[in-house]
Structure 1
Amino acid sequence: MFRNFFRSQRAGVAVISALSLPGAVTATGGAIDFGRVVQLHDQIQDAADDATLSTIAVNSAAYKAGVSMNADGTISGGSTKAVTGFTAGYTPPGDVSNVTTTATVTKTGTVMTANMTIKATYKTYILGLIGIDTVPITVTSTSTATVPPYIDFYLLLDNTPSMGVGATTADINTMVSNTPDQCAFACHEGDKPGTDYYAKAKSLGVTTRIDVVRKATQDLMTTATSTETLSNQYRMAIYDFGAAADAINQTAPTAYKVSSLTANLSQSSSDAGTIDLMTIPYQNYNSDRQSNFISMLSSMNTNISASGDGASSANPQKVLFFVSDGTNDGYDCGYTNGNSCRRITPIDITTCTALKARGVRIAVLYTTYLPLPTNSFYNSWVAKYVSPSSQIASQMQSCASPGLYFEVSPSQGISTAMTALFKRIVSVVRINA
C-alpha cells in the first residue's frame, strides 16, 4: 500500500513538472533574449546617432550645402551621407538580419535636421523553442544643427560731451583736483585748442568714457573675427552722434556714420579707432543740447532695414548695439522740465519699441553714470534719475531686447561687457543630439 502511494506521488510531480516546463522555458528564454534585444538596440542607436550628428556637423558637406540654401527644403546629398555613415559605423552580428535604413536631411529656417530610421530582425535563441523565432527592432535618431546666423550689427556709440567724464572714480577725482572749478568733464572746446579740459585730461593721463568705448569697439571686431564660422558671417556699421556739435542739425540731429556696413572687420576696427569725444565750439554751446536720443534712435530706425532670419547672407538678422550713459539732453520744444526747449531725462524708449517691432534686436550697454557731487549740472538735473530711483538704468533696460542688457562701470570692463553681449547674441549656434 505504501509503495503504491509513493509511486502515485512521483507520478503527480512528473505531471506538474511537465506542465510547468513551457512556462519556465518561456521565462528563462524571454529574459535571455530580451537582454540581447536591449543590447542590440543600444548598439544600433549609438551608430544611428553618430551618423545623424556627423551628417550635419559643422563643415560637413551637408552642413555647407544647407548653409548655402536660400529656401527651406531637402539638403542635397544629406540622406545618402547619413545612410553611408550608419553603414560604415555598424556591422550587424550573426543574430541580426534584414537591416534597412532610411534618412531625410532637411533645412527649415535656420535649423537643419537629420532624421534616420533603422529596422532590423533579431533571431532568438531560447524563445525559438516555443515558436518565437524572431523579434523586430526599430531605432530612430534625430539630430539638429542651428545654422550660424548671418548678422548685421549697427553700433550706435554715444560720444557726446558727457562721455568725456572720467572713466573711473579715480579719474574723476583727478580731474576735480586739477581744475579750478572742480569739473569732472574733459570738455573738448574748439575755442581753447590745447588748453581745454580735454587736453588737460590727456596730459594728466586720465581715461575718459569715450576712450574706453573706443578701445572696446575695436576689441569687439577682434572677437567677431575669431567667432565667425562662415565667410562674411558678420557685417558691422558704426555710428556716433557726430564729431563736432556745430556741424550737426541741433533740432533734429541724425546719427553720424563712422564706418559703412562691411564684412571687412579689420576696416571696421581701424575706423573705430577714429572715434573721439564730440567737440563744441565754446562752453555751453546750444545750451549743451548734444544728446538727443530720440532723434538719434529715429535716425537708426531709418538706417536699419527690416531684419531677416539670418539663414543666408541675403537675409541677415539685424542688431542695434547701443552704448551710452543713458541721459538724454536734447532740443525738444514739445517737452519742458524747467528749461525752454531742452529735455534732460532718461532715454525715451518709443523708438526702441518701434525697432523691436520690426524684428531688430537691441543690445544695450549702459555705462553707469557715476555720481558727480561737485558738478552743479549733475546735482540739478541728473542726480534724481541716478539715485535712489535708478530711472536711467531702468529705461535703458526697457530699450533692450530680452537678455541683451548690460550695466557696467567703465572700471569694471566695458570691453568685457561688449564681448559678452556679442556672444549672447550669437549663442544660438549649437548641435543637439
Structure 2
Amino acid sequence: MFALSSLAVILFVGLALDYGRAIASKGVLNTAADAAALAALAAAESDYAKGLPASQMVSDGQAAAQRAFIVNAGSIYANLAQAPTIAVAQTGRTINATINYQANSPNLFGNLAHVSQMTFTGAAAASMTLPSYLSFYLLLDVSESMGIPSTASEISRLAAINPDYLNLYPGGCTIACHFTAYAACQNKQGATVMCQGYNLSRTAGGSGSPVSYCPQPGQSNCIQLRLDAVAYAVQQLISTAQTTATLTNQFAIGLYPFARYMESYQTLTTNLATVTTAASALTSLIDNGNGSSAIGSGGTHFENALPSVNGLISSVGNGASPSSPIPFVFMVTDGAQDSQYQVNNGSWSGSNNATTLNTANCTT
C-alpha cells in the first residue's frame, strides 16, 4: 500500500513542478509582452518626431514590438503556439499598442497522467498621448503704467530718489516715466524739467552704467519695473519650453508689445534663444509719449491689439506637425487705465488720443 500511494505522491509533486515551470515561463513571456508594447510606442513616437505618416508609425511600431518580444522571451519563445498578435493603432493624438500571446509548457511528469503540456495566455497594453506642436503669441502691455516699479519696496526705492525734482511730487515720483514730449514734465511754475524716472530706475539713482533690463527686485544697480518683471516671466516661459520639449521645433514663440497699437517686435519663431534675447529689451519699449514707434502712444488699447494678433493666426491646427500648430494667445497687462491729459499749452492728437484741458475754462 505504501508503494502504491508513493506513486500518487510522486505524480502530484511532479505536476506541481511542471506547473511551477509553466508559471515561470508565463512570467518571462509577460515581461516580453510589456517590453514589446513599450517598444512599439517608442518607435511610433520616433517616427512622429520625424514627421512620418501614421501608416509608417504603425508598421515600424509593430516591427519594433516583434523584435522586443523575441529578445526578451529568449528560449521560452519556442513555447509559443504561434507568433504573438501585435496591434498598433493611432486614434487622434493617442497611440495604442496591444500584445497577445498563447504558449504551451511541456510537462516532464504530466505524461504519467497523460497531460503532456500546460497551455496559458497573456496580454499587455500600453498607450501614450503624442506631444503637440504649439505656438505662443505673447501680447504684452508696454503702456505707461508698466513703468511702475514691480513691488511696494521697489516703489519706495524710486520715490526716495525723487526723480523729477518737482514740487508737485514732494514725496517722490513713483512711476518711471520717460515722457519728455508735450511739456509733460512741467512744474507748477511752468518750467520744463526732464522726466528722469525711467533713466534713474536703470541705475537705481546711482551714477553707474545704466542697464536695459532689471530681472529681479532689490538689485543694487537697478529698480525693477513691471515690464522688467514681465520680461523675466517671458524668459522663464522660454526656459521651461526648452527643457520640456520632446520634439524638434515643438514650440514657437513671438513677442507682440502694444500700447495704442500692436507691434510684431519678435515674430513667431522656433529659435527660442532669439526670443530670450529680445525679451531682455522689452522694458525700453515703455511708452515715451512721442508716438513715433509702431506701438504708438497713449493708453492700453487691447481693442486694437487683440484683432491685430488674431490677424497673425492664419489657421488653428491640430498640433500634429510643425505646419499645423495649436496657437495660444497670452495677453499680459497690469489692467491699469492709462489716461493722458494736457493742460493749457500744446495739443495732443493722433495716436495719443489724449484729453486736453484748458484751465481758462475752469472755475475755482
Same fold (TM over 0.5): yes
Aligned pair partner of 1:46 in 8, 16, 31: 31
Alpha-carbon displacement from aligned partner over 1:211-246 (angstroms, at most 9, x marks no partner):
12223323433443344332222111111114xxxx
Task: Tell me what 1:304 maps to.
Answer: 313
TM-align CA RMSD? 3.5
Q: Check if 1:313 corresponds to 2:313.
A: no
Change in Cα spacing, 1:171 to 1:97, as seen in structure 2 (3 Å) is closer
Distance 1:93 1:200, change over 3 A: closer
Task: Measure how far apart 1:208 and its partner are.
Answer: 0.8
Match of residue 187 from structure 1: 177
Query: Separation in 2 of the partners of 1:293 and 1:25?
Result: 87
Q: Which residue of 1 aligns with 2:86?
A: 103
For 2:230 and 2:334, how far apart are their aligned partners in 1? 11
Residue 46 (structure 2) pairs with residue 64 (structure 1)? yes
Q: Give the match for residue 202 of structure 1.
A: 202
Task: Give the Å deviation of 1:152.
Answer: 0.8
| 8 A Cα contact 1:259 1:268, kept in partner | yes
- Distance verdict in 2 for CA 1:123–1:86, change over 3 Å: same
Aligned residue runs from structure 1 range 174-323, under 5 A:
174-179=157-162, 181=169, 182=171, 183-191=173-181, 195-204=195-204, 205-242=222-259, 248=260, 254-276=261-283, 277-281=285-289, 290-323=299-332
Tell me what 1:35 maps to: 20
Structure 2 Cα separation of the partners of residues 126 and 95 of structure 1: 20
- For the 8 Å contact 1:292–1:328, the answer to whether it is kept is no
Secondary structure of residue in 2 paired with 1:92 = helix
| Contact 1:151–1:233 (CA under 8 A) maintained in structure 2 | yes
For 1:150, the equivalent position in structure 2 comes to 133
Can you give the 5+ residue segments of structure 1 that lack an aligned partner in the other structure?
1-13, 243-247, 249-253, 283-287, 332-340, 343-433
CA displacement at 1:109 relative to structure 2: 2.7
**Are the equivalent residues in 1 in contact too, given 2:33–2:69 (CA < 8 A)?**
yes
Alpha-carbon distance between aligned partners in 2 of 1:51 and 1:320, rounded to the nearest angstrom = 40
Q: 1:88 Cα deviation (Å)?
A: 2.0
Whole-Å separation in 1 of the counterparts to 2:85 and 2:323: 33
1:113 to 96, 115, 122: 96
1:65 is paired with a residue whose SS is: helix
Out of 161, 171, 184, the position equivalent to 2:144 is 161
Name 2:189's counterpart in structure 1.
Answer: none
Aligned residues: 299
Distance between the aligned counterparts of 2:14 and 2:330, measured in 1? 67
Q: Residue 318 of structure 1: CA displacement? A: 1.5
1:207 partner letter: Q
8 Å CA contact 1:161, 1:290 repeated in 2:
yes
Within 5 Å, which residues of 2 pair with 1:329-344? none
Aligned pair in 2 of structure 1 residues 295, 281: CA closer, same or farther (>3 Å)? closer
Q: Distance in 1 between matches of 2:275 and 2:303?
A: 26
Corresponding letter in the other structure for 1:197: G
- Using the aligned pairs only, state the percent identity: 28
Corresponding position of 1:76:
59
Matching residue's letter, 1:266: A
Show the counterpart of 2:107.
Answer: 124
How far residue 120 of structure 1 moved from its aligned partner, in angstroms, is 1.2
Query: Any unmatched runs of 5+ in structure 2?
Result: 186-192, 205-221, 291-296, 341-352, 355-364
After superposition, give the CA deviation of every residue in 1:253-303 in whole Å (9 maximum; x if it has no partner): x43221111222233233323312422428xxxxx9612344433443443
TM-aligned CA deviation for residue 103 of structure 1: 1.6
Letter matched to residue 279 of structure 1? D
The amino acid across from 1:188 in the alignment is H
Q: 1:148, CA displacement in angstroms?
A: 2.3
What are the Cα deviations for residues 63-110 of structure 1, in whole angstroms up to 9, with x where unaligned? 332342455786233212211221122223499353522323333333
Q: How far is 1:171 from its partner?
A: 0.9
Matches within 5 A, 1:361-376: none
Change in 2 beyond 3 A, CA 1:203/1:34: same
